């Protein structure tokens, strides 16, 4: 096999031929499905006549091919590994092909595959070419008419995009349904489902009075787990009408839950496919976090109907056009339905841990990459989350009203088209009158910008000078960076009053909470008429995806933690304060010096615990220490053991000093009320469970008893899972196994709960975690071909900082072994799973060598393009 070659954005050309209408017939069979395709083809008006017809196609056995009804002889077309070529085609013609495929052998879960007894598809990004020969690129948009034929008894339900127009019986116990999708769409939005499924149905009336049927299709045993997804869908539909003026455009909207799925969910037109983990919930089986995740993903896929489907991407380099925008939309939706600051805190803690790490590692890439080998590797945190941060900055820059006008312009001007990121940004520039040319650099420059800030208060003149200096570090292929346009929201908090001071900048009134624009490498901002010495509260609500350094003293941070009017920055001040203390303790641990707890952190926590909180959900976040992964992200070189020891020390010191406050907090927030995934209840559970985690960390007898009782009370999965996790992760050796056994037996029949059972045990800090992984890989509920299982067991173990990074290299070896097996079974998952090994530069020399040795061992295999691309970058 030759080395996979990169594809370049600069090589983009419109397709030589487009397809205006696509007719498909599937005759389903696990081992030999027949797919007939009739494509209505015409030359693209912008392309020269006489070009050959080139269609994508992989792993297809061609059975027949004809143009305008004339069968082609074997010398009239050419077949390659990657597709089909026909020379000398007319300007307009009908192409008929018939191919055979084997869904039951498809473990990659791209194209048509089997999940349990059902058939289903995943076509984004390039899966359709594993179904039939086609110009499998998003700028070819066609209407589809799809006939699905299957065994009537085994596959009573046959679904595809759009509306069912015909159904009937066929000889041999088979039946068929024909579906028509009137909206032109790219092949990546095609979907088909066939199986023994049951539905839950509801209705929604759109703002213009259209009646829409909503259906969630599941296996029978999951019928009781769809309520929350359905309610979320209706809320999302209403929200998009109210917020963006966009309504749904078909008579039915279907969601299907699938157990084997590479990602979270897929926005296929009118027929979303969902990883069952992203749609099914029940108070007894799903945690608050899972409920919120389901709500967010249901909304995300629904919002794609406009941002992605009606207006789609010209090519896959523009992926963030639909993903960044849609993530921004689902984030705003969730913020409107839940505690907005907590939503932001959760987003940002995840972003600063995982996206910052990606942006600093060997696979760093711009939000719009300029080349790729395998597009499946680019469904990344950078494309999704940093893309969303850029859209958020745009929104803050031009203001919501102009942003909404820009979105209206974008949707109406480009409806039914495949467009670029410039098209989107230009709409925002036109609607607002802003010059966004420098801002566009955010899309082409990789790496996390760092801002060094310092400020000085001039008492005599009442002037505050803030100096900001930006730089973006080099990333692979991009040694030099230009200054970006960075909008920073800020306030100046008066040290006497604790209030936001009015801000005047260059004679302009900024109010008490305003945005400044950093455009130069270094810029000074001079605020006048500042009545008292302020502490600046910078990048409020994480107004830009940057690392902001300001020489805050611990007193400054304690002050902001108590007084900042921005909930997000109040939380962030607490995190910064904890990080300073952690830094000292990490150093102490490394130097073998006795660890001493900073009393200022204890006092700050005491203050939090003893003053009335205006937002309990935020308080729970404030009481949560930065994760080991986030602490690691702040260190020049990661010392996993020192980080773990330091964090445990802080936790235990706080628990010891504030034991009574935590006990009180726990008691005040326990409740027997029936479970509801509502903000107030969620906040109370978070507070109670944070308190419990402190109490158990010091093996407080009462705390352990509370955890055991909470586990046994079995009130809801949020409480049960937290209690189980604390018992299993506790250093008291006798607690883990009885609880795990009880839980494992109770839930053996429920794959999504068993995923949690796997994760909890392999993330424990005790040294038996690795042995548990090996043991559990033979558990009947585990399967290497199910991505959820792989993530729950192997992926979770790779997040177990102390055990994955064992000094004997056994953690790395285990991951590499699994990656090598998955390289054959499911390349997309293999390439994701290997990520932790690619971050070897962050660790000490011994671990670096061990990690690189495993990467080299993987490189010795015959690699899928997915893994090839990642491994080459990691070892470059
Ligand atoms: N477009 C999907 C989303 O974000 C992503 C997705 C689902 C996907 N399944 C996939 C991407 C498989 C690549 C491969 O909503
Ligand atoms: Zn998406």
301 is catalytic: yes
Residue 179 near residue 148 (C-beta atoms within 8 A): yes
Domain coverage including residue 99 = 7-196
Note whether residue 59 is domain-resident. Answer: yes
β-strand 92-101 against 61-67: which pairing, if any? antiparallel
3-state SS assignment for residue 512: coil
Q: How far is the C-alpha of 837 from the C-alpha of 472, rounded, in Å?
A: 24
- Our answer on whether the CB atom of 835 is closer than 6 Å to any ligand 1 atom is no
Marked catalytic residue, from 126, 301, 346, 828:
301
Is the CB–ligand 1 distance for residue 383 below 6 Å?
no
Bridge partner list, 517: 487
CATH of residue 162: 2.60.40.1730
Residue 108 resides in a domain: yes
Output the CA 682–ligand 2 centroid distance in Å: 26
Q: Which residues pair with 111 in a beta bridge?
A: 122
Give residue 395 CA to ligand 1 midpoint distance, Å.
25
CA 778 from centre of chain = 29
Instruction: Pick the residue whose CA is nearest to atom 11 on ligand 1.
Output: 124
Asked if the structure places residue 184 within a domain, the reply is yes
Cα(415) to ligand 1 centroid in Å equals 22
Ligand nearest to the CA of 329: 2
How many H-runs (helices) and E-runs (strands) does the chain carry?
31, 34
Q: Is 267 in the pocket of ligand 1 (CB under 6 A)?
A: yes
Instruction: Establish whether residue 379 lines the binding site of ligand 1, counting it when its CB lies within 6 angstroms of any ligand atom.
Output: yes
CA distances from 203 to 209, 246, 273, 343, 698 (A): 12, 17, 19, 29, 52
Last residue of a domain, one of 544, 574, 591: 544
Which residue has a Cα nearest atom 1 of ligand 1? Answer: 266
Q: Which two tokens stand for residue 770?
A: 């690795």
Rounded average pLDDT per 10-residue block, the chain, 876 residues:
89 98 99 99 95 98 98 97 97 98 98 98 98 98 99 98 98 98 98 98 98 98 98 98 98 98 98 99 98 98 99 99 99 96 97 98 98 98 99 98 98 98 98 98 98 98 98 98 98 98 97 97 98 98 98 98 96 98 98 97 97 92 98 96 98 98 97 96 98 95 96 98 98 94 98 98 97 98 98 98 98 99 98 98 98 98 98 98
Structure-token pair, residue 107: 């473990």
> What phi, psi does 715 have (nearest 5°)?
-80, -45
Q: Which of 196, 231, 259 is the last residue of a domain?
A: 196
Question: How far apart are the C-alpha atoms of 434 and 128, rounded to whole Å?
Answer: 40
Instruction: For residue 686, report the distance from its CA to the centre of ligand 2, in Å.
Output: 28
Nearest to 362 by CA among 442, 447, 449: 447
List the beta strands (DSSP E) in 547-592: 547-549
CB burial string 650-676: b at 16+ within 10 A, e below: beebbbebbbebbbebbeebbeeeebe
| End-to-end Cα distance, the chain | 21
Ligand 1 centre distance from Cα of residue 640 (Å): 33
Q: Which of 260, 266, 318 to mutate to test the pocket of ligand 1 (most atoms within 8 A of CB)?
A: 266
* Structural domains of the chain, count: 2
Torsion sign across C-alpha atoms 238, 243, 245, 250 = negative
Final residue belonging to a domain, choices 544, 572, 593: 544
Rounded to 10 deg, the angle between the 567-591 and 599-610 helix axes is 150
In a domain, 53, yes or no: yes
Q: Which pair of structure tokens corresponds to residue 227?
A: 């309520």
Q: Across the strands, what pairs with 158?
A: 194
Ligand 1 and 262: CB distance under 6 A: yes
Give 384 Cα–ligand 2 centroid separation in angstroms: 8
122 C-beta closer than 6 A to ligand 1: yes
Alpha-carbon Rg for the chain in angstroms: 28
Q: In Å, what is the CA distance from 822 to each residue of 794, 827, 837?
A: 12, 6, 15
831 in Cβ contact with 869 (< 8 Å): yes
CA distance 248 to 321: 20
217 alpha-carbon distance from chain centroid: 24
CA separation for the pair 260, 115 (Å, rounded):
6
CB 124 near ligand 1, within 6 Å: yes
Question: How far is Cα 398 from Cα 413, in angstroms, rounded to an integer?
Answer: 20
11: DSSP letter: G
Residue 51 CA to residue 834 CA, distance in Å, equals 41
- The answer to whether 115 and 258 are in contact (CB under 8 A) is yes
Residue nearest to atom 15 of ligand 1 (CA): 266
Residue 729 lies in a domain: no
Assign 467 to helix, strand or coil: strand
**C-beta of residue 776 within 8 angstroms of C-beta of residue 815:** no
Question: Is the residue at 185 inside a domain?
Answer: yes
Q: What is the pLDDT of residue 1?
A: 53
Instruction: Report the alpha-carbon distance of residue 419 to residue 139 in Å, rounded.
Output: 8
In-domain check, residue 742: no
Q: Residue 744: inside a domain, yes or no?
A: no
Q: What is the CATH number of the domain that holds 505?
A: 2.60.40.1840
């Amino acid at each position: 096999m030759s080395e996979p070659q990169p594809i370049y954005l600069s090589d983009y050309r419109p397709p030589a031929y487009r397809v205006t209408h696509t007719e498909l017939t599937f005759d389903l069979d696990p081992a030999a499905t027949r797919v007939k395709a009739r494509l209505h083809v015409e030359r693209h008006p912008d392309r020269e006549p006489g070009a050959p017809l080139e269609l994508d196609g992989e792993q297809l056995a061609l059975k027949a091919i004809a143009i305008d009804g004339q069968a082609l002889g074997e010398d009239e077309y050419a077949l390659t590994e990657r597709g089909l070529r026909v020379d000398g085609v007319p300007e307009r013609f009908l192409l008929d092909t018939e191919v055979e495929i084997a869904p039951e052998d498809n473990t990659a879960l791209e194209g048509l595959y089997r999940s349990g007894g059902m058939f289903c598809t995943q076509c984004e990004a390039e899966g359709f070419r594993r179904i039939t020969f086609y110009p499998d690129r998003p700028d070819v948009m066609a209407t589809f008419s799809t006939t699905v034929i299957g065994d009537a008894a085994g596959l009573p339900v046959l679904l595809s995009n759009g509306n069912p127009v015909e159904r009937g019986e066929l000889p041999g116990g088979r039946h068929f349904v024909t579906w028509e999708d009137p909206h032109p769409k790219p092949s990546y939005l095609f979907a088909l489902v066939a199986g023994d499924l049951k539905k839950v149905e509801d209705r929604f009336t759109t703002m213009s009075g259209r009646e829409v049927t909503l259906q969630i299709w599941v296996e029978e045993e999951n019928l009781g787990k769809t309520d929350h997804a359905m309610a979320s869908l209706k809320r999302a539909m209403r929200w998009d009408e109210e917020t963006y003026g966009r309504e749904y455009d078909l008579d039915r909207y279907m969601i299907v839950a699938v157990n084997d799925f590479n990602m979270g969910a897929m926005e296929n037109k009118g027929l979303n496919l969902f990883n069952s983990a992203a749609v099914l919930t029940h108070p007894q089986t799903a945690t608050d976090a899972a409920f919120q995740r389901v709500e967010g993903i249901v909304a995300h896929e629904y919002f794609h109907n406009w941002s992605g489907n009606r207006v789609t991407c010209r090519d896959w380099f523009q992926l963030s056009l639909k993903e960044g925008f849609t993530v921004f939309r689902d984030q705003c939706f969730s913020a409107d339905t839940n505690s907005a600051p907590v939503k932001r805190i959760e987003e940002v803690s995840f972003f600063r841990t995982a996206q910052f790490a990606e942006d600093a590692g060997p696979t760093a890439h711009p939000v719009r990459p300029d080349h790729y080998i395998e597009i499946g590797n680019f469904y990344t945190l950078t494309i999704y989350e940093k893309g969303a941060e850029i859209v958020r900055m745009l929104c803050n820059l031009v203001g919501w009203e102009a942003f909404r006008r820009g979105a209206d312009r974008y949707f109406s001007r480009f409806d039914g088209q495949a467009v670029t990121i410039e098209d989107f940004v230009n709409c925002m520039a036109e609607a607002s009158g802003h010059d966004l040319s420098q801002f566009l650099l955010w899309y082409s420059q990789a790496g996390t910008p760092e801002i060094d800030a310092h400020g000085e208060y001039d008492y005599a003149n009442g002037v505050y000078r803030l100096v900001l200096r930006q730089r973006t570090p080099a990333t692979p292929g991009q040694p030099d960076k230009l200054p970006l346009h960075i909008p920073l929201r800020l306030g100046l908090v008066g040290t006497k009053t604790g209030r936001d001071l009015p801000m005047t900048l260059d004679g302009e009134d900024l109010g008490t909470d305003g945005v400044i624009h950093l455009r130069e490498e270094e810029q000074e901002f001079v605020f006048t008429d500042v009545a008292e010495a302020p502490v600046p509260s910078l990048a409020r609500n994480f107004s830009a995806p940057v690392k902001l350094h300001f020489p805050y003293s611990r007193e400054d941070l304690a002050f902001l933690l108590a007084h900042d009017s921005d909930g997000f920055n109040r939380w962030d001040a607490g995190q910064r304060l904890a990080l300073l203390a952690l830094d000292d303790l990490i150093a102490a641990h490394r130097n073998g010096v006795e660890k001493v707890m900073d009393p200022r952190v204890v006092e700050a926590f005491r203050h939090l615990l003893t003053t009335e909180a205006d937002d309990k959900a935020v308080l729970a976040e404030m009481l949560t220490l930065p994760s080991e992964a986030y602490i690691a992200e702040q260190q020049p070189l990661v010392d996993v053991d020192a980080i773990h020891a330091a964090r445990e020390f802080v936790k235990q010191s706080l628990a010891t000093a504030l034991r009574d406050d935590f006990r009180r907090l726990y008691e005040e927030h326990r409740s027997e009320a029936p479970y509801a995934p509502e903000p107030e209840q969620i906040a109370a559970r978070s507070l109670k469970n944070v308190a419990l985690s402190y109490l158990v960390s010091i093996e407080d007898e009462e705390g352990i008893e509370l955890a055991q009782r909470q586990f046994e009370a079995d009130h809801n999965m949020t409480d049960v899972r937290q209690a189980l996790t604390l018992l299993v992760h506790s250093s008291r050796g006798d607690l883990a196994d009885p609880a795990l056994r009880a839980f494992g037996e109770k839930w053996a029949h429920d794959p999504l709960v068993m995923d949690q059972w796997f994760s909890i045990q392999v993330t424990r800090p005790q040294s038996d975690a690795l042995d548990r992984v090996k043991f559990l890989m033979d558990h009947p509920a585990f399967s290497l071909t199910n991505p959820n299982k792989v993530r729950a067991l192997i992926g979770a173990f790779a997040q177990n900082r102390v055990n994955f990074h064992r000094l004997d290299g056994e953690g790395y070896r285990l991951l590499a072994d699994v990656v090598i097996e998955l390289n054959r079974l499911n390349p997309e998952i293999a390439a994701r799973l290997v990520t932790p090994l690619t971050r070897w530069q962050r660790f000490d020399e011994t671990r670096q060598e061990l990690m690189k040795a495993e990467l080299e061992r993987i490189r010795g295999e015959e690699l899928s393009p997915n893994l090839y691309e990642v491994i080459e970058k990691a070892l470059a």
